[in-house]
Amino acid sequence: MKAAILSKFRNVFGRQPEIVARAPGRIEFIGNHTDYNGGTVLGAAIDRGVWVAYASRADGQRRFASDQRGEIISVPAAAIQRQEGPARWTNYPLGILASLPESGLRGPAGFDYLAMSDLPAGAGLSSSAAIELASALAFLGAVGSEPERETVVKLGRHAENHFVGVPCGILDQGVSGFGRENHLVFIDCRGPRFTTVPMPAGAHFWIFNTHTKHALVDGFYAQRHRECAEAARALGVPLLADVSPDALAAAADRLNPVAFKRARHVVEEIARVAAAVTALRQDDLAAVGRLLTASHRSSQTLFENSTPELDLLVDVLTGTAHVHGARLTGGGFGGAVMALTSAEFGDAQARGVAEAYAARFGARPDVLHARTGDGAALVAI
């Protein structure tokens, strides 16, 4: 990818970039919608992501381009405003620029900027967090700033919450920022605090992208966020992470049915994250797999952020040899399913899953055999 982005930058802007940064996509391993509820989550940075190339300009113009669109989008430095239509993707780097002064940091003035990605679009692998973190590293590097990794992660979340308009938690940016090869990232979202957990040898990730709609800004994510907040208020706690399973059961008659289902999913999901960490440390992938599948069933029936396409994939995968477990990954409402498998699961088994999906829905999912990777970083040119 480095050679590709250097070549593309020269072709688009006619000169060499000064800075290159990259940030990985992520797999939400387990911990669905627990982050903004103050809970815990496990994720994995993968070996694919978003790359950003940058070169300064003296005229104050900020020019944006990407490998997925042909046009150059110019934004005056004096006006950071949300973009619509084909320019909408620039809201992620623009959100970082808008967030810098609010964090006491300085951003660059004029520049040429190019983003490239090898993440499949709409697969729930958080290309948005990856472009935010890569952009933050490039912009801060341009002004000679070397912030702590926590600062870069918080910048990405602030941009997503306050500029892009998605009320996400810290999961996506935290995993993209703190990823480590052959490890999972454990986040206590209340802190937030970030640690890593070794991934047992022989564990493999397979992603099945349904190409169904995955547009969190469109409202479903925000609706679930509101429902969780309403459930917490009804329970008299700041966040659902403050509720134990026993306390929730005792308060069931005080909640409307929808609020109870949302709260039950979150409370039980936090418990599943803790159980998964224990099983991982014991190298018990079978137990981890059972927790992953249980997480999906909870998303399916309690949080109701799954779809028939995702449910079918989980059904087929959990009936396939060498699969420990499977669940939707990301915000839900479309996107992708992650399967945790042994090394014996290969292309032949993946094709069988894809064929079963095509027989039901008429189109084949994209299949990605993902590997863990390191977190966001500047890249030597």
Q: What are the Cα distances from residue 68, in Å, to 15, 91, 118, 119, 129?
A: 20, 15, 10, 12, 17
The residue segments making up the domain with residue 283 are 204-370
Is there a single domain that holds both residue 100 and residue 173? yes
Is there a single domain that holds both residue 214 and residue 175? no
Q: What is the SS3 assignment for 207? A: strand
35 flagged as catalytic? no
Is there a single domain that holds both residue 179 and residue 256? no
Q: What is the pLDDT of residue 78?
A: 74
Q: Is the Cβ–Cβ distance between 72 and 65 less than 8 Å?
A: yes
For the chain, residues with pLDDT lower than 70 are 121-124, 214-218
What CATH number is given to the structural domain containing 337? 3.30.70.890
Tell me how far apart the alpha carbons of residues 309 and 307 are, in angstroms, rounded to a whole number: 5
Q: What is the pLDDT of residue 218?
A: 61
Give me the residues paired with residue 61 across strands.
Answer: 76
Q: What are the Cα distances from residue 3, in Å, to 25, 65, 72, 142?
A: 20, 17, 21, 21
Q: What is the pLDDT of residue 195?
A: 96
Under DSSP, the state recorded for 164 is I
**How many Å is the maximal CA-CA distance in the chain?**
66
Tell me how far apart the alpha carbons of residues 101 and 95 are, in angstroms, rounded to a whole number: 11
Is there a single domain that holds both residue 118 and residue 247? no
Burial category of 139 from C-beta neighbours within 10 Å (exposed 0-12, middle 13-18, buried 19 and up): buried
Please choose, from the candidates 378, 374, 38, the residue with its C-alpha nearest in 3D space to the C-alpha of residue 193: 38
Is there a single domain that holds both residue 190 and residue 214? no
Q: Which two tokens stand for residue 99?
A: 């967030």
Is there a single domain that holds both residue 194 and residue 297? no
Is there a single domain that holds both residue 244 and residue 176? no
Is there a single domain that holds both residue 120 and residue 237? no
Q: Which two tokens stand for residue 122?
A: 């709409």
Give the torsion sign (CA, 307, 242, 375, 105): positive
Is there a single domain that holds both residue 212 and residue 357? yes
Q: Which of 35, 59, 112, 172 is catalytic?
A: 172
Is there a single domain that holds both residue 301 and residue 363? yes
Is there a single domain that holds both residue 228 and residue 347? yes
Is there a single domain that holds both residue 223 and residue 189? no
The tens digit of pLDDT for each residue in 73-110 reads 998 877 788 888 888 899 999 999 999 999 899 999 99
> Dihedral angle at the C-alpha atoms of 4, 7, 11, 17, nearest 10 degrees?
110
Q: How many domains does the chain have?
A: 2
Question: What is the 3-state secondary structure of 316-379?
Answer: HHHCCCCEEEEEEECCCCCCEEEEEECCCCCHHHHHHHHHHHHHHHCCCCEEEEECECCCCEEE
Q: What is the pLDDT of residue 32?
A: 95
Containing 70, the helix (H) or strand (E) segment is strand 69-76
What CATH number is given to the structural domain containing 131? 3.30.230.10
Q: What is the pLDDT of residue 217?
A: 45
